[in-house]
Amino acid sequence: MDNLNLIDTFANFKENKEIDRATMMSVLEEVFKSMFEKLYGTADNYDIIINIDKGDFEIWRRRTVVNDGEVEDTNMQISLSEVHKIDASYELGEEFADEVKLADFGRRSILSLRQNLSSKILQLERDNTFLRYKDRIGEIVTGEVYQVWKKEMLILDDEENEMILPRTEQIPTDFFRKGDTLRAVVEKVEMKNNTPLIILSRTSSTFLERLFELEVPEIYDGLITIKKIVRVAGERAKVAVESYDERIDPVGACVGMKGARIHGIVRELKNENIDVINYSDNLKLFIQRALSPAKVTKVKVLEQQGRVEVFLDPEEVSKAIGKGGLNIKLAGKLVGYEIDVFRNIDEEALEEDVDIMEFKDEIDEWVLEIFKSIGCDTAKSVLNISRDELIKRTDLEEETVDRVIEIFKNEFEEN
């Protein structure tokens, strides 16, 4: 392996990985001195002169001139007669420097040097990748699916750096094959066994936030601020936005003309339902907006309990709760309160109905509280919902739901 090949090995790496000149010089000097220390026990008397531009280097060894017969270490000393064969002007005690060729160190030492250099280059590449992606946490990256496994996917970026997209960070309806291109956000970066581990995510709120920045120029420019995002990946998300410019409608800007802007985001998230909400410092107003598309008639905030009671007309209750209770769950996370839903009932209807808390003697109170949390505060409001829907919304055992239904039905049959 000659000088030119050695420099080319490193120069090619520099060009591909954008390594600065100082780092190149340092690594090359380090591998050479490591070889000298292994061969002679010291590298203090060696000077490495590297010319990156010409693709060459020189090795110079400094030795002290001593009398003939007094040479104890040929690596550190040279006899006067041997020096005079080269230059007769040298005297005893002076330092003599001569150039050493790489081939002089032997084939085994050169192979060891090459392996050491390759190892340093590999570690340098890993460290460089780690630092570069550490600064990109929270950014969207684009990569190609290289391998699909049961629990994760291996993604390669443009420089063939490896990234991992775990199954838990994939949208449930995601389906990618080898060779597909996908976008995700850098969730975290860490070193594992001296190798950078880059974890991606498509389920985090940050991913949705970055998509909005890409699609909505007003957000990217800072004219509109995203106050908070809550989501259940692939199902539904709520995004609270605010504009500091009264001339800008934040919701309209995010949705775009005929939904042009929001549609691109929805497609990327596999048809995830996204509610864009105008943020307000008025808590009651913000709660009303958070429960969209349901129309709330009254809001009662119980700050000490960390709960909110909202009242709606009967036909609006199911909208407020949403499929599987998802709408009310996300609304609660968005406003930071547990939300209890109550139906508005006129006096005449109330006389014909019974508050479910009247059944505390027959049904555990915690069970009744669960029914109240899904907007069923009277017996008839429970009976007006199908058995399967009640099981789904309350997440109670089938036997428990059946028993509650039977008790409520018997109440009206007896009357």
Does residue 6 have a pLDDT over 60? no
pLDDT of residue 55: 60
pLDDT value, residue 341: 84
Mean pLDDT, rounded, for 345-365: 73
- To the nearest whole percent, how much of the chain has pLDDT over 90? 39
Calculate mean pLDDT across residues 266-285. 93
pLDDT at position 147 is 94
How, if at all, do strands 77-79 and 56-66 pair? parallel
Whether the per-residue pLDDT at 189 is higher than 90: the answer is: yes
pLDDT 10s digits, 212-250: 999 999 999 999 999 999 999 999 999 999 998 888 999
DSSP label at residue 316: H
pLDDT of amino acid 285: 93
Q: Is the pLDDT of residue 287 over 50?
A: yes
DSSP state at residue 43 = -
Across 273-292, average pLDDT? 93
203 pLDDT band, cuts 50/70/90, is very high
pLDDT at 1 exceeding the cut of 60 = no
State the DSSP H helix or E strand holding residue 110, giving kind and residue range, or none if neither: helix 107-134
Q: Say if residue 4's pLDDT is above 50.
A: no
Cα Rg for the chain, rounded, in angstroms? 36
Write out pLDDT tens, residues 386-402: 888 888 878 888 899 89
Both tokens assigned to 183: 């976008």
Model confidence band, residue 269 (pLDDT cutoffs 50, 70, 90): very high
**Percent of the chain residues past pLDDT 70, beyond the cut:** 91
Cis peptide before 293 (omega within 30 of 0): yes
For the cut 80, the answer to whether the pLDDT of residue 17 exceeds it is no
**Angle at CA of residue 391, ends 386 and 397, nearest 5°:** 140
Alpha-carbon distances, residue 229 vs 158, 207, 239, 291, 330 (angstroms): 30, 10, 5, 14, 9
Number of residues that make up the chain: 415
Beta strands in 149-247 (DSSP E): 152-156, 162-166, 181-192, 195-201, 224-232, 236-243
Q: Which of 13-22, 72-81, 139-148, 195-204 has the lowest mean pLDDT?
A: 13-22
Q: Which CATH architecture has domain 3-132?
A: 2-Layer Sandwich (3.30)
Contacts of 65 (CB under 8 A, 6+ apart): 77, 78, 79, 80, 83, 90, 91, 92, 93, 94, 95, 96
Fold (CATH) for 141-203: OB fold (Dihydrolipoamide Acetyltransferase, E2P) (2.40.50)
What mean pLDDT, rounded, does the chain reach? 86
CATH 3.30.1480 residue ranges for the chain: 3-132
Which of 11-15, 214-218, 363-367 is predicted least confidently?
Answer: 11-15
CATH 2.40.50.140 residue window(s) in the chain = 141-203
Using pLDDT thresholds of 50, 70 and 90, give the confidence band for residue 8: low
Highest mean pLDDT among 2-16, 165-179, 367-381, 388-402: 165-179
180 pLDDT tier (thresholds 50, 70, 90): very high
Per-residue pLDDT of 109-161, as tens digits, reads 778 777 877 787 788 888 888 999 999 999 999 999 999 999 999 999 988 89
